[in-house]
Amino acid sequence: MPSVAPSHIYALFALIAVSTILVSAFSAYAVTLRTIPEKEQLENLLNHIASKGYELVTLAIATNATSRTILQLPSTIGNKQYWARLRNEDSRAWVEGALGSTQEDSANSRSYLPKSVLARGKCTSNSGPAVLECYLNGSTIHLHLFLWRESM
């Protein structure tokens, strides 16, 4: 009989180990399922900012006037903060952003703007509405993203 008790103890430890592995795997899967929609929402938000940028650029070219639009951005995506900014290089301009409160050099997502745009500015979540402004300076089109409270 003494050999039966150790085998039950070993079986119990094996059952605990398997249970721990299964619980860890399911919790990691749940985190992944939550992360995918958050990234999609961020991409949709950046696409929205870029499409408004396209509208303002078209309006500025057609009317040669300064135009602004107020963007009602969500305070969080899921329960995470985010940031977005306008950037450009010699050949392209884009809106980029990522989840998190700090702005890193590398963004998780990008949405491109017209090539001939000089883009600048940034906004963060929990900062209220943002303003997207477009104007012509000579033949250069400027697109500027800033917080609404900065325009006062």
Interval 94-134: pLDDT, tens: 999 998 877 666 677 888 888 789 999 999 888 889 999 99
pLDDT value at residue 46: 93
Instruction: Please determine, for residue 49, whether its predicted confidence score (pLDDT) is greater than 90.
Output: yes
Structure tokens at 75: 């305070």
pLDDT value at residue 107: 72
Angle, vertex CA 69, rays to CA 66 and CA 75, nearest 5:
145
In terms of phi and psi (left: phi > 0; alpha: psi -120 to 50; beta: otherwise), the region of 78 is left
Task: List, edge to edge, every strand of the sheet that includes 140-147.
Answer: 67-71, 130-137, 140-147, 117-124, 82-88, 93-99, 109-113
Close Cβ partners of 10 (under 8 Å, ≥ 6 residues apart): none
108 and 41 Cβ atoms separated by less than 8 Å: no
In whole angstroms, give the CA distance from residue 133 to residue 59.
11
Q: Would the pTM of this model clear 0.85, i.e. be above it?
A: no
Structure tokens at 122: 């940034």
Region 60-79: mean pLDDT is 90
Residues of the chain with pLDDT > 70, as a percent, come to 93
Unique residue bearing structure tokens 């301009």: 93
pLDDT value at residue 79: 84
